[in-house]
A = this chain, B = another copy of it.
Amino acid sequence: MAVFRLIMGFRPELTKLMTAPSHVKSEDASSLRVGDRNRARILDAAIEVFALRGYDGARIAEIAERSQLPKANVYYYFRTKRTIYQTIIENLIGEWDAALAQLDAARNPSEALSGYIRVKLEFSRKHTAQSRMFANEVVHGGRFLSRAVRRHMHAATAEKAKVFESWTKAGLMDPVDPIHLFILLWGATQFYADFGVMAKNGLGVKRLTRAHFADGAETIAQIVLKGCGIRLLAGSSEQRPADRLVKAVC
């Protein structure tokens, strides 16, 4: 249950809203209070429901059903619908930092960037529902995004923008507006999760498989790396254009 990790205090400064009990010290699941297990079940169910129906469309009754608890019990753990929603949103942000960590100034730009693309896409494949929830939230103007979250994301972006600029100064990549590059990356990598229906429609498939995400990561990396004038590492695992042509034509 992915939510456990979240509850257990990954990026504690962003989890103020969490109602995780302070007396829980170990991660041993068997020692958890019933409440902790239930909270996690509720959040897991809520992620699905919010992703599918949006904030207003989500009904607490459905969240309760999916977590196999009576509705009143859900309200025992979370004061309001909004609390559940915000808890999930705040937790999500921290996860993206893991992908951003790939963009380390000390690394080779080629590896760092394609690593970022791969990790980000992989995360969005594994956590499609959260991704969509967040997308939905942002599309609606970010009503429930706290100042802290916004600041955190802004700072993270600015920090990594400096990494791009340092690479440029070192002659390792072309001069590219770093923020707009971020937007391109974010938009492209979120697409597969957030706009899955369109990706499926475009690719003409019923389901997006791991392979589709991998292909996407490759194509994005291929275009962005070359597009930014980043040289591939000699021993790099990235496929060369010639290999890809076969695939594209088939």
Contacts and interface: CB of A to CB of B under 8 A. Distances in A.
A204 B248 contact: no
A204 to B, nearest CB: 6
Q: Is the interface of A mostly helix, strand, loop or mixed?
A: helix
Interface in A166-194: 168, 174-184, 186-192, 194
Interface in A191-250: 191-192, 194-199, 201-204, 215-216, 218-220, 222-229, 241-242, 244-245, 247-249
A17 B218 CA distance: 40
A85 interface: no
A30 to B, nearest CB: 37
13 contacts: A135-B194, A136-B139, A139-B194, A174-B241, A176-B222, A180-B220, A183-B199, A183-B216, A184-B187, A184-B188, A187-B190, A223-B223, A226-B226
Given A219-B184, A249-B165, A52 B227 contact: no
A138 B198 contact: yes
Interface in A64-93: none
Contacts of A168: 245, 248
A136 B175 contact: no
Contact of A195 (B138, B154, B227): B138
Interface residues of A, number: 71
A16 interface: no
Looking at A136, A223, A225, the one whose CB has the most chain B CB atoms below 10 A away is A223
A223 B224 contact: yes
Contacts of A227: 222-228
A187 B180 contact: no
Nearest to A184: B188
